[in-house]
Amino acid sequence: MKKLVIAGLVLTATSISASPFEKPTDAIEYRQSAFSMIATNFGDMAEMVKGRKDWDQQQFSQRAQFISQLSLMPEEAFAVEGTDKGDTKAKPEIWSDWDGFTAKLNKFQGDMANLAKVSMDGDERATKRAFGEAAKNCKSCHSDYKYR
């Protein structure tokens, strides 16, 4: 019985780690969808930071929580073979400089987790500072790894 339970756990772990993408185009669409949702939420926060929209700490924090979770999604879709071709604005440098790209992606994820945490404290000034740090990293990654 014990061996059966262990075998079941191994099969479950294996199926969870398997890629959900059947084709490279599926992975491209997935990461583009994640980035689109990130951009929508980030844009709303930017409007508040720039004063073009009334500051709403609760709404800002909710957007930051969403982005923190969404930031974890795209990496696996970049790792799929063949996703460097097709309908994508991803530069080849992502794959030729994988370590540099993943370092920036990891920093982005950390920045978003920090922004989510800071925004929950309700300190507008600290939230805006954390947003600014996150925005700098976004711009840096786009400059290096994304066609406009």
Whole-number Å distance between alpha carbons of 112 and 34 = 14
The answer on whether 108 is annotated among ligand-binding residues is: no
Whole-number Å distance between alpha carbons of 49 and 124 = 9
The answer on whether 142 is annotated among ligand-binding residues is: yes
Rg from Cα positions in the chain = 18
Closest CA to 72 of 31, 114, 101: 31
3-state helix, strand, coil in the chain (%, to 5): 75, 0, 25
Say which residues have a Cβ less than 8 Å from residue 59's Cβ, sequence separation at least 6.
44, 48
The H or E element that residue 11 is part of is helix 2-17
- Per the annotation, binding residues are 138, 141-142
- Per the annotation, binding residues for heme c are 138, 141-142
